[in-house]
Amino acid sequence: MLFELSMLPDTEKLSLREKLAYGLGDSAANLVGVTQATFLLFFYTDVFGISAHAAGTILLVSRVIDALSDPIVGMLADRTNTRWGRYRPWILWTAVPLAIALVLCYTTPDLGDTGKVIWAIATYNLLMIAYATNNIPYCALSGVMTSDTNERTNLASWRFLCAMGATLVVSMFTVDLVEIIGQGDAAFGYQGTMVVWGALAVLCFVATFALTRERVSPSPRQRSSLRQDLADLFHNGPWIALFALVALIYIQLALRSGSMLYYFRHYQEVPRLLTWVDNFGLFNGVGLVAVMVGVFLSNPLAKRFGKRATFQVCLLVSACLMASFALLPRDSIAGLFTLQILMQLVFGPTIPLLWSMMADVADYAEWKSGRRSTALAFASIVFGTKLGFGIGAWLNGELLQWSGYAANGEQPELALRTIKLLMSVYPAIALVIGFFVLFYYGIDRQLEHEIEHTLRQRRSEALEGQA
């Protein structure tokens, strides 16, 4: 069956139904992932009762340990052989365990200080392992649904529109849902909310498995070992640059998203604008709508200027707008939302481009070596996302602890200044560094087309040889 899938034309246009089905997988992933990036540090410090230092350290160490398992998951997925393909079965197999792990991570047993830390370490690592075994094959799937580089960017755009839709729901309504379910009991409210998000995630994952197809397979003559796959990776210059870029972007995301709830709880002095959603949810919702518009622009911009050039300009402008948040007065309304809309609009095109470039890196490796390891290429880049997120979350915790942050209490002036900088200047620095890193990413628009043409020709010749 796998060989029959590889016989399908890998450059055919994907149907809208299949693009949406693939996108639902990232909706599910964000129902899980956004809760970690946005709420987990706050949940640990202000609900479960763990110190900011301990919480930040848990998020860093656990992410690094978990990230080390990503290449193993990638290599196992690359070597999976079922009648449904290599990667789709993993999405189905891991859906329910991932939802259960999410609920456990936000469960608060009555334990002492040491017991709470042990529980947090155990449940967070369980969640990360379940997430890796689901998300790495899911990411790799985009690299084998089609080999057309423009179609991949379009697929990534649909994927992230669906992802942003889920992010919008989680960011806007989690706080209110916690209050509705918990009725004053925040611990129970968070646990019940995660049951809701986990159940929705399972339904989305099942749809992704059922309605997508794998079309690009390695050559039947390909022979490689784990050692060879890793050696190919570390001789792949674009992969090295992309790895560094991903780590920097996720340091920025962790710094900003992890500090945002603190920013609205303790720094901003804007009265509630709407009755049906708090300012934190409204701020995120408005930003995510702007991101979706930006995502739509990614494909035409990439076709016109190339992925790398588009990415660099968007990063630099986003960094300038992000740093400008530090200049806003605490009672600013117009400035707060204007900057959010502009920044997210400019940053939006980078999101699908990043994941489309991961597939291009896998193509580059096959073009150079004749060997393809799609899931390993994605897994190793996902390692960068987890490393970056871990470092960013750790920095959040350490800086809050250093500044004298008091959970559920009055904040000293140093803590307020630190929260403001964590929302603005510090994450902007990571984006500026990423701008310079992209100069070392060697796949420009011309090389993209050359690689695509060469690989298409090789696969055609391989199929003719099998006939």
Q: Can you spell out the DSSP letters for 357-414?
A: HHHHHHHHHHHHHS---HHHHHHHHHHHHHHHHHHHHHHHHHHHHHTT--TTSPPPHH
pLDDT score for 459: 73
pLDDT score for 295: 86
Domain ranges in the chain are 2-462
Write down the pTM of the prediction: 0.79
pLDDT score for 355: 80
pLDDT mean over 62-68: 77
Give whole-number Cα distances, 428 to 92, 252, 266, in Å: 37, 7, 21
Over 50: is that where the pLDDT of 9 sits?
no
Comparing 15-19, 44-48, 60-64, which segment has the lowest mean pLDDT? 60-64
Judged by DSSP in three states, 199 sits in: helix
pLDDT digits (tens, 9 = 90+) for 107-123: 999 999 999 999 999 99
Contact 4/143 with Cβ under 8 angstroms? no
Give the tokens for residue 253: 């995301």
Percent of the chain past pLDDT 90, that is, above it, reads 63
At residue 4 the predicted structure's pLDDT band, cuts being 50, 70 and 90, is very low
* Cα dihedral: 379, 384, 389, 392 (round 10): 170
pLDDT digits (tens, 9 = 90+) for 170-210: 999 999 999 999 999 999 999 999 999 999 999 999 999 99
Q: Please list, in sequence order, all residues whose beta carbon lies within 8 angstroms of the beta carbon of residue 38, skipping any fewer than 6 positions away.
A: 170, 171, 174, 257, 258, 260, 261, 284
Percent of the chain past pLDDT 70, that is, above it, reads 92
As a whole number of angstroms, the distance between CA 287 and CA 341 comes to 5
Distance of alpha carbon 274 from the chain centroid = 29
Write the DSSP symbol of residue 270.
P
pLDDT score for 7: 40
Q: Please list, in sequence order, all residues whose beta carbon lies within 8 angstroms of the beta carbon of residue 307, skipping any fewer than 6 positions away.
A: 153, 353, 356, 357, 360, 443, 445, 448
At residue 223 the predicted structure's pLDDT band, cuts being 50, 70 and 90, is low
Tell me the helices (H) and strands (E) count for the chain, helix number first.
Answer: 19, 0
Give the tokens for residue 15: 């149907």
Contact 233/70 with Cβ under 8 angstroms? no
As a whole number of angstroms, the distance between CA 150 and CA 458 comes to 19
pLDDT mean over 423-435: 98
pLDDT score for 372: 66
Higher confidence at residue 395 or residue 303? 395
pLDDT digits (tens, 9 = 90+) for 364-373: 888 887 776 6
As a whole number of angstroms, the distance between CA 39 and CA 454 comes to 46
Distance of alpha carbon 32 from the chain centroid = 10
Give the tokens for residue 252: 């920025």
Write the DSSP symbol of residue 126.
H
Region of 49 on the Ramachandran plot (φ > 0 left; ψ -120 to 50 alpha; else beta): left
Write the DSSP symbol of residue 97.
H
Which fold, 2-462?
A: Growth Hormone; Chain: A; (1.20.1250)
As a whole number of angstroms, the distance between CA 400 and CA 90 comes to 38
CB atoms within 10 A of CB 278: 18
Over 80: is that where the pLDDT of 232 sits?
no
As a whole number of angstroms, the distance between CA 184 and CA 179 comes to 6
pLDDT score for 10: 46
pLDDT score for 359: 79
pLDDT mean over 78-86: 90
Backbone angles phi, psi at 85, to 5 degrees: 110, -165
Give whole-number Cα distances, 148 to 80, 126, 190, 457, in Å: 24, 36, 42, 13
pLDDT score for 296: 86
As a whole number of angstroms, the distance between CA 412 and CA 422 comes to 16
Identity at 318, one-letter amino acid code: S
Q: Please list, in sequence order, all residues whose beta carbon lies within 8 angstroms of the beta carbon of residue 337, skipping any fewer than 6 positions away.
A: 283, 286
Write the DSSP symbol of residue 13.
P
CB atoms within 10 A of CB 119: 18
Contact 53/398 with Cβ under 8 angstroms? yes
pLDDT score for 5: 38
pLDDT score for 8: 41
Q: What angle do CA 13, 18, 20 make, to 5 degrees?
A: 120
At residue 12 the predicted structure's pLDDT band, cuts being 50, 70 and 90, is low
pLDDT mean over 288-314: 92
